[in-house]
């Protein structure tokens, strides 16, 4: 399951540099997470780093993009193989 950023985002700029997969970018109004790049930090860290640093708790799991831990790890391996 990838994460997403809600409209409660205050554009504080702390999440983007924490993402090891470069899945977080500045959108038109708030930061956005590319689901094809988000592994919830599986393969890198025990916890999603963006969630850890977010001061307003606006980065939940996306219920529309459910993935198992195994699927997230496979995505991580694919990203690393592609030079991610």
Domains and CATH numbers, the chain: 16-81 (3.30.70.20)
- Residue 61 forms beta bridges with which residues? 3
Backbone angles phi, psi at 73, to 5 degrees: -70, -40
pLDDT at 83 over 90: no
pLDDT at 13 over 70: yes
Q: What is the mean pLDDT of residues 16-27?
A: 97
pTM above 0.85, yes or no: yes
Work out the mean pLDDT of the chain and round it to a whole number. Answer: 95
Q: What is the mean pLDDT of residues 33-47?
A: 96
Residue found by looking up tokens 């977080």 in the block: 24
Residue found by looking up tokens 């990838």 in the block: 2
Q: What is the pLDDT of residues 41-80, one digit of tens each?
A: 999 999 999 999 999 999 999 999 999 999 999 999 999 9
């Amino acid at each position: 399951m990838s994460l997403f950023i809600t409209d409660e985002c205050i554009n504080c700029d702390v999440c983007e540099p924490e993402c090891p997969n470069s899945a977080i970018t500045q959108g038109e109004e708030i930061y956005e997470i590319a689901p094809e790049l988000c592994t919830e930090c599986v393969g890198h860290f025990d916890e999603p780093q963006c969630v850890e640093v977010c001061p307003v708790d606006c980065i939940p799991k996306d219920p529309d993009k459910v993935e198992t831990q195994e699927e997230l790890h496979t995505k991580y391996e694919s990203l690393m193989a592609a030079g991610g």
